[in-house]
Structure 1
């Protein structure tokens, strides 16, 4: 009995097609209920012949498919003509109503079957997307694992090579550890999110904590926004290390953020770096900065001032994304 109930539930939810026997049994039950309803209505309106069978056709087609729906409509029409609950006889009017009943039933069956087809397609697409997402997570986890192993290998090799140069190793070791901590943080925020201050410290830590200043209240970022901002901060920090404030001994960085209603504004100010004489053509990093926040109704403005790079990032703060 439990197996039969489980099969009925899966068939009704569209998870799996029901067996032919169960579909026929369900259609018979629908016809019996419709006939009982017609018998009850006959005490008030004896000329109600086919109306109670419309729900039976609908439910039978929704559960068993187009063939079961057609059979139910045909049997319901025959019952409406043959079975009487009064003194009326099968005249021409009843046959005209029969034609109308079959026409409406045909439209009902077509609509139900069209909906079933769309639902099956949606389920197929949903399963494929879930499978692709699971595959993506496996690849990301594997890449993170390999990156962590490679970073550990680099750390060990450099430690061996610089064993006789403790001063140089003392400058490199904390940066490598900070990079590893950043990778671990990114892997965690993809699932749970993080605080914006922790995210910035993780990204900027390898360049030295005395080189940057953070101004803003504690703000927890949902996973999607946290990952997006981490990519943007990483790009800005990398550029600062190559061409900006972090490439100069006296360069400094100040990052500030404010929240107004549900809008976040982050300001990135670099000072003391080398002067920017020529701006190259926009590359991947620039395009990333300008488009990454569009999913959060946001925008990014990048300015190359004499004092250094100035960037303003604005976006909506999602609640549960």
Structure 2
């Protein structure tokens, strides 16, 4: 008896490893209809029930392109025919003037919709179709933006958001493998024109920067970039744990103790200040290194400077031996 095409077998194995045993719990696959998420959905439809999971699907309609509602309906119809349930279409509205930009605003709206429906249906996990190539692109973008270890750690294979686990089963699988899996199963993926639109930084990395690196350094560079992210993720997780403990030791009524902050190693103090800024309400997508560096200057280079402006209209200042917020 002939088994499945090797690419199909690889995708199914990846889903099994990510999910483990399900005890009849629900997982939702986030599927745009592109090759990556379509191959993931097909693999989950096969492997999920065989490992004790109920598998549903959610497709987000960003309303950014003509025909997006028809595309969402096509994905939903395929999912229903594949036996997935529930099958959900989530329309979202993107503000073109959003300070995060169109990419950031669409991503934020997408994840809000995905998590809303996952919680509404008490799903144990959301499956996302990011690949090894996506991880390599993420590392390059982080390098270009001057990100620290947390940014260079890329996307985690698993992250808990409340009661929902965000899982990326295909993070170790090449994009070409997922395209082969679609072809082997007779699936026709949707080609998102945004993926080739060079107005977007990720599209330029995908079409130009990463292929240039592969040409110069060989095909192994994609996996090596992803491996770098995995190694940094381990280190960042450990430092984040130490920083969480340090944060509690720096807290005071209404702010942070300067002496306690100054005593911390640089790697922990920056993380503590970043956590504090987030707790104050600074939007994570807008909070950058320069904001944390300005907070750090209130601790390590104090010479009477004024308040530091943080995203979200927050102003932090030093008063005596404390960092406080107006």
Q: Same fold (TM over 0.5)?
A: no
**Structure with the higher helix share, 1 or 2:** 1
> Larger Rg: 1 or 2?
1
- Bucket of the pairwise TM-score, normalised by the shorter protein: under 0.3
TM-score (norm 1): 0.22
TM-score (norm 2): 0.22
For CA contacts below 8 A with separation 6 or more, give which structure has more relative contact order: 2
